[in-house]
Structure 1
């Protein structure tokens, strides 16, 4: 029997199957490729593997458009391959999370096909249909992927709603039969031994579609749909059903992709919350305006990042548990997002790892993050597979950017930056596949950024991640990191510093997020080095061979941090 909140001590590794490992040599990743690499993931220290969608799908949105919830898409393997993955992971003490995508289906799902066949039939009620208005859509809402959130069917007088792509019609959660179908499917997978779900776009289930025209917020005359479909009153009924009829009876780990206010946190992640934890977008999406335009620069600063992280930690610990992450399949690589191009190096990569891995919550490591994978430079728009990238480029031009400005903006933020093949070694296709052609370009820097090279180098980013994972899970400080409270420190300049504390014992985490040397004043009790990202500090915090880096004062200790350096300090 697993303890009730087993996921609090876990480290999660996210896998984008199409790009992780190609076992059958067709140029695209598969489930057997994941199974082949389970020993590596165990070596890294992962307890939970979040596997992005592998259900049957036409792959218009890389699997987030599901045509059959009960079966594995042949491009990833077979149903038996998935059963084997769950079984082999369990044998190694690891649990599998699948993506739960229930805001919408594919337009190739049997339910939607039958809805189109019979507009008055039962399945038409599984989706959201409206009559058009004045020769056009029912309203002027913009989908998350751009363009109208309504798509015409038949003679064009009737439309269906899609918050995302037009091949992803939204389910009608007002319909009790829809909810029963979904809950039965969730229990089917949990009964197989799944550890739980990462719950996709769950805040969109309840819609507010009663206005014929919304206030435009862009040059296209449309209005951002999220304002009217995210966390609308009444959604709590649907989320409570999922919790009570599926998640709770299985003691599942559930992490929701949903943005909630401070006032809503208790309901979502409290003692009897809907989910185990929710992702916080305030610092992961710090470079995106609230209306979703990738191409616009928010001009964020280290102070903004520090404020968002501290706020998230303090509010979350009041009532529940958080999910820690810097990147995922919908993000560019974190080193490119947070660091100036000229400052991307092993030191700054290790600083980012330290900053978030020791916060309060369950850390999520996205594939390749642990070796410091970076964004890719594509040659043309045709090289991108992501459907949202093309739309953002088009909207940037409409906004008035030059072609070069638009290209630079969207290539910096494209989701395909994180979807390039995993870099295993310096061989063909970075060891991802034996195929002559792979589904998405391999980043040329695989020759020196790869698992094989970094696993043999004790000073590598990969080995540093392993040490941080070990620090969380083993030894005298593990309980402080996994169970302790978070306390922010007064930080100036480009420093982000905090204390983790439990039963009077503490760890001080110092991070210099800038390119200049910074001095930090610490309580006298924090005088022992537990971890140093540069790797050349002695146990007291001095740089070996120089005697510099620590200055003792009567009432405190001053630590001098070099550019992008992290120090983790404890008491004697």
Structure 2
């Protein structure tokens, strides 16, 4: 295997608005990240991915960029970012930024010039404009955030296209001038000294150029735009060019957000000459809804379903290249609230079991802020309490689809992106130590019992167990095997245990994770093991079997066996 530096990283995702507020305006900022570098270093983090900090009206919390070269003043100044990059490097931590190049904000100068000058604008071909049909939008496609993908351009019969929010017009990647501008910007940031990018919504950059209607799939008479705007034939030309003009010129890491890519195309994305270093696979993260963009279509699932999705993903990624493993991110709800169905079982054991289960899969592990202390979903009592535009859309779509207001609120409390965006719980003081003033988003009140300060002082906390999880992967005798080894599923038909082995040359590590509130007995293939990780203090192993306690994580290094 051709080893790459980024395969060994442990990446921590920061939602800057909610991480730490250094100037007490209720909003997290870049200096706040700098002030918490010691915390990240002590956890064992080697790289930080920061969600967008560019100039933005913040309609979609920074994923609507109005200036790619400026920072949003609420996050700080460029000198603050330079200081963060420098101080992080001193602590052995690299910085990765978000790259949002499918769309801009409607407040970007290019779009503002289009609004002002219309047909005479230099930038009229920088966006996607189409004429309406009989007073109706050009097609019946629904945006990811609800409503038509088309918004009328005032004073004309034309509409502009937006895959996501109304204030996020898509860029016209068919225009070579647009692409050149974007590549110049990408290289500017790489020259500044960042380690690379997480690449947002990249499979949306190519649209079906026919722009024809499809049969409606909802009571609104619209159809999901993804059938015509995501992972379309011809996207490979754009992605090769993007890589050739930017990433390949630097020894950087790129993590693609690439929903909709079938497994048979993974080689194009992450193979030897792939567009990206690694990509996220969202199939197991979205197992509880029939469609990742329709939260009201709920799906009942069990551990076997989760296991099948994880192992299929691992097998397919292993065939193609390298994956980015995650339990949570800024678009997902909290993992302990999702994967542990009974509230009474959401505790130290289930949180640490989940953490270890995903961490030793093949690929680079990502930890989302607050995951390492077991932060949970919240429950908001009215739609007015939500900030996330996707949640608000899902609420009204649910009602239009025939559900009651109570049911609609239940759906979005389960899946809302605000679940993971609540301010970080630093301590049990007012506002969780995030700020001295009321935060921009209402907090989960359990910060008094779930917080980093309390857990740092408790040797048996979720946080301190995460440190052990990371230490085993990064520096134990089994480190090479756990990072670079192949993965092989075990106990594939067991209803409540997820188990697998990692193998590298003559090394072997076996990993068992009990997703049940009852003890489970498993037979062992060998009789000599070193225990690398156990979230219970007592041993549960005899020569030929072990008894997994409720929500136990057990990671064993095989000793003295012929594994050839």
Residue 209 of structure 1 and its aligned partner are, at CA, apart by 4.4
**Residue 571 of structure 1 is aligned with which of 539, 543, 558?**
558
Once the two structures are superposed, the pairs formed by residues 20-419 of structure 1 within 5 Å of their partners are 20-120=19-119, 121-155=121-155, 157-259=157-259, 260-290=261-291, 292-340=293-341, 341-419=343-421
Q: Distance in 2 between matches of 1:293 and 1:209?
A: 25
Aligned length in residues: 554
How far, CA to CA, are the matches of 1:314 and 1:406 in structure 2? 37
TM-aligned CA deviation for residue 395 of structure 1? 1.1
Q: 1:290: how far off?
A: 2.6
Are residue 558 (structure 1) and residue 557 (structure 2) matched?
no
CA distance in 2, matches of 1:559, 1:310: 23
Provide the rounded CA distance (Å) in 1 between the counterparts of 2:334 and 2:435. 22
Q: Equivalent residue of 1:500, what SS?
A: strand
- 1:229, distance to aligned residue in structure 2 (A): 1.1
Does the residue aligned with 1:191 lie in a helix, a strand or coil? helix
Answer whether contact 1:508 1:526 (CA < 8 A) is retained.
no
| Change beyond 3 A, Cα 1:517–1:156 | farther
Deviation of 1:569 (Å)? 1.1
The offset of 1:117, in angstroms, is 2.1
Shift of residue 156 of structure 1?
Answer: 5.4
What 5-or-longer segments of structure 2 have no aligned partner? 560-564
Contact 2:491-2:497 at 8 Å conserved across structures: no
Distance in 2, Cα, partners of 1:500 & 1:374: 30
Q: Alignment partner of 1:123: what SS?
A: coil
Rounded Cα–Cα distance in structure 2 between residues aligned with 1:300 and 1:138: 39
Partner Cα separation in structure 2 for residue 224 and residue 515 of structure 1:
39
Structure 1 residue 525: Cα displacement: 4.5
Note the alpha carbon deviations across 1:72-129, whole angstroms, 9 max, x for none. Answer: 0101011111111111111111111000000000000000011222332320100000
Distance in 2, Cα, partners of 1:335 & 1:484: 27
Deviations 1:161-181 (A, max 9, x none): 000000000000000000000
Q: Deviations over 1:414-455 (max 9, x none)?
A: 0000000000011121110112x2101121111111111101
* Preserved CA contact (<8 Å) 2:27 2:440: yes
Secondary structure at 2:469 match in 1 = helix
Q: Deviations over 1:197-231 (max 9, x none)?
A: 00000000000142432111111110000111111
Report if the CA contact (8 A) 1:296-1:409 is conserved: no
Partners in 2 of 1:332 and 1:253 — Cα distance?
26
- Tell me by how many angstroms 1:291 deviates: 6.0
Instruction: Decide whether aligned partners of structure 1 residues 525 and 501 sit closer, same or farther in structure 2, where only a CA change above 3 A counts.
Output: farther
The 2-side partners of 1:381 and 1:71 are apart by 33
Secondary structure class of the residue paired with 1:407: helix
Deviations 1:497-541 (A, max 9, x none): 00011112111100111222222222114633221112x223xxx
Match in the other structure for 1:504 = 506
Q: In structure 2, what is the equivalent of residue 546 of structure 1?
A: none
Q: Which residue matches 1:533?
A: 535
Aligned to 1:545: none
Structure 2 CA distance for aligned equivalents of residues 11 and 105 of structure 1: 30
Q: For 1:266 and 1:16, how far apart are their aligned partners in 2?
A: 30
Task: Give the secondary-structure state (helix, strand or coil) at the position aligned to 1:118.
Answer: helix
Name the residue aligned to 1:486.
487
TM-score (norm 1): 0.95
Distance 1:130 1:502, change over 3 A: same
Equivalent residues of 1:203, 1:231 under 8 A apart: yes
Report the Cα offset of residue 558 of structure 1: 2.1
1:310 and 1:219 mapped to 2: Cα distance?
A: 36
After TM superposition, give the deviation of residue 551 of structure 1 in Å.
4.7
For the structure 1 residues 143 and 293, does the alpha-carbon distance in structure 2 shift closer, same or farther, using more than 3 Å as the test? same
Q: Distance in 1 between matches of 2:460 and 2:294?
A: 38
Measure the CA separation in 2 of the matches of 1:350 and 1:35.
27
User: Which 5+ residue runs of structure 1 have no aligned equivalent?
Assistant: 543-549
Q: Are the equivalent residues in 1 in contact too, given 2:291–2:297 (CA < 8 A)? A: no
Give how far 1:571 is off: 1.9
Determine if contact 2:267/2:321 at 8 Å carries over to the other structure. yes
Asked whether the 8 Å contact 1:287–1:300 carries over to 2, the reply is yes
Contact 2:510 2:558 in 1 (8 A): no
Tell me, yes or no, if the aligned pair for 1:224 and 1:291 is still in contact at 8 Å: no
Q: Which residue of 1 aligns with 2:562?
A: none
- Once structures 1 and 2 are overlaid, which stretch shifts more, 376-385 or 144-153? 376-385
Q: Is the 8 A contact 2:101 2:182 kept in 1?
A: yes
TM-score by length of 2: 0.96
* Contact 2:54–2:72, Cα closer than 8 Å, also in 1: yes
Cα distance in 2, alignment partners of residues 275 and 100 from structure 1? 13
Q: What do you get for the CA RMSD once the two structures are aligned?
A: 1.3
Deviations 1:25-54 (A, max 9, x none): 101000000000011101111111000000
In structure 2, distance between residues paired with 1:100 and 1:196? 9
In the aligned structure 1, how far is the partner of 2:500 from the partner of 2:302? Answer: 18
* C-alpha displacement of 1:379: 2.6
